[in-house]
Structure 1
């Protein structure tokens, strides 16, 4: 099973730090799970223009193929202007919705205020619903105060939520994997 962590931004480092911590937690507790990080900052992804996704090339094709090859996901975004990043929205537009169908997604977000945690509930989860993906009940929201001056996550409550989400996503994936054949033709 392959878990893909997606850092859905082309700026900053906090979202990547959170996704890396979630992937590290999964790898430490479930060594049988293959984990990989997709950091959108490392790719020059074209804007979605409505064409067939198979016609893209270069980094855009690499990113689409990487997302398509995963069995389940942890997706993170910083919250800008009360919403997910344009880079992550563009990724969602590029990848065919059927790629996410019947796959498990866990969400993480970072932001400057505590109120921005609602973006997970009000924007990210509905997008996953449109994809007909399974969403973990829990999520991780990290506010700037949860990092130390070196950019490390230090808040014990956040670290506990990271541990909980990493266990939740693997448990859901393992439980659903055995029943996956029943839903392939939905």
Structure 2
């Protein structure tokens, strides 16, 4: 089973730092789980425009394949102007909705104000609902105050929330694999 951590931005370091910390916790506590990081900074992904998959660049196809083949996710985003960045929205647009169906998503966000955590509730959870994904009830929101000048996490509460989210997404994924949800349409 494969957990994919996604850092949904092409600027800044904090989103990737928090996602990597969640993945580190999963590796430490659950060595049976394959963990992979998808940092959007490492790819030149084209805009979604409806063309067939084979017409997109190698980077775009590689990202689509990584996301589509994962079993569950921890998705991270910075909050800019009270919303997710276009990079993450474009990624969601590129992925076929069935790729996320009945899979667990955990969310991580970071921003400059404490109120921006609401973007998880008002934007990310509805997107997951559209995809018919299962959302971990806990999520992690990090503020600039949680990091030191070297971008190291120094807030114990944040580290505890990271550890809890790591456990929760794994627990949900394993529970749903043992007792799969049967959808009647």
**Shorter-chain TM-score range:** over 0.9
TM-score by length of 2: 0.97
Partner residue of 2:13?
Answer: 13
Structure 1 moving runs of 4+ over 6 Å? none
Q: Does the alignment pair 1:114 with 2:126?
A: no
Partner residue of 2:59?
Answer: 59
TM-score by length of 1: 0.96
Q: Does the alignment pair 1:145 with 2:145?
A: yes
RMSD over aligned Cα, in angstroms?
A: 1.2
Partner residue of 1:182?
Answer: 182
Deviations 1:125-152 (A, max 9, x none): 0000000000000000000000011100
Task: Judge conservation of contact 1:3–1:35 (CA < 8 Å) in 2.
Answer: yes
Q: Structure 1 181/143 Cα, relative in aligned 2: closer, same or farther at 3 Å? A: closer
Any stretches of 5+ residues in structure 2 without a counterpart? none
Deviations 1:62-113 (A, max 9, x none): 0000001100000000000000010000000001011000000000000000
Partner residue of 1:35?
Answer: 35
Partner residue of 1:90?
Answer: 90
**Aligned mates of 1:132, 1:146 — CA distance in 2:** 32
**Aligned mates of 2:53, 2:92 — CA distance in 1:** 11
Task: Judge conservation of contact 1:53–1:95 (CA < 8 Å) in 2.
Answer: no
Q: Does the alignment pair 1:78 with 2:90?
A: no
Partner residue of 2:171?
Answer: 171
Partner residue of 1:25?
Answer: 25
Aligned residue pairs total 185
Q: Structure 1 54/181 Cα, relative in aligned 2: closer, same or farther at 3 Å? A: farther
Task: Judge conservation of contact 1:110–1:141 (CA < 8 Å) in 2.
Answer: yes
Per the TM alignment, residue 50 of structure 1 is displaced from its structure 2 partner at its CA by 1.8
What SS is found at the alignment partner of 1:106?
Answer: strand
What SS is found at the alignment partner of 1:180?
Answer: coil
What SS is found at the alignment partner of 2:153?
Answer: coil
Per the TM alignment, residue 33 of structure 1 is displaced from its structure 2 partner at its CA by 0.4
Q: Structure 1 158/181 Cα, relative in aligned 2: closer, same or farther at 3 Å? A: closer
Per the TM alignment, residue 54 of structure 1 is displaced from its structure 2 partner at its CA by 4.7
Worse-matched range after superposition: 20-29 or 43-52: 43-52
Task: Judge conservation of contact 1:53–1:96 (CA < 8 Å) in 2.
Answer: no
